Amino acid sequence: MTSTASAAAVATPFERATDLAALTRPDFPLLAQTACLGQPLIYLDHAATSQKPRQVLEALQHYYDHDNANVHRGAHQLSARATEGFEGARAKAATFIGASSPNEIVFTRNASEAINLVARSWGDANLRPGDEVLLTVMEHHSNLVPWQLLAQRTGCVLRHAGVTPEGGLDLDDLRSQLSERTRLVSLVQVSNTLGCLNPIAEVASLAHGVGALLLVDACQSLPHLPVNVADLGADFLVGSSHKLCGPTGMGFLWGREALLEAMPPFLGGGEMIQDVYLDHSSWAGLPHKFEAGTPAIGEAIGMGAALDYLNAIGLERIHAWEQQLTAQLFTRLQAVEGLTVLGPTPQQQPDRGALAAFHVEGVHAHDIAALLDSAGICIRSGHHCTQPLHRHYGLSASARASLSFTTTPEEIDRFAEELQGAISFLREHS
Instruction: Show which residues are catalytic.
Output: 385
Alpha helices in 103-193 (DSSP H): 111-118, 124-126, 145-154, 171-177
| Residues with Cβ within 8 Å of residue 136, at least 6 apart in sequence | 160, 161, 162, 163, 169, 174, 187, 188
* Inter-residue contact 141 to 193 (CB < 8 Å): no
Q: Quote the CA–CA distance of 310 and 97 in Å, as a whole number.
A: 12
* Inter-residue contact 397 to 424 (CB < 8 Å): no
The CA angle 171-174-178, to the nearest 5 degrees, is 140
DSSP conformation class of 242: G
- Written as one string, the DSSP assignment of 262-285 is HSPPSS-SSSSEEEE-SS-EEE--
Q: Quote the CA–CA distance of 192 and 144 in Å, as a whole number.
A: 14
Nearest Cα residue to 224 out of 98, 385, 403, 17: 403
DSSP conformation class of 307: H
Q: Is 33 exposed, middle or buried (0-12, 13-18, 19+ CB in 10 A)?
A: exposed
* Inter-residue contact 306 to 241 (CB < 8 Å): yes
Q: Quote the CA–CA distance of 406 and 408 in Å, as a whole number.
A: 6
* Inter-residue contact 272 to 291 (CB < 8 Å): yes
Go through 134-147 and write b for each residue having 16 or more CB atoms within 10 A of its CB, e for each that does not.
Answer: bbbbbbbebbbbbb
Q: Using DSSP, state whether 349 is helix, strand or coil.
A: coil
Nearest Cα residue to 171 out of 142, 138, 141: 138
| Residues with Cβ within 8 Å of residue 326, at least 6 apart in sequence | 346, 352, 353, 354, 355, 356, 403
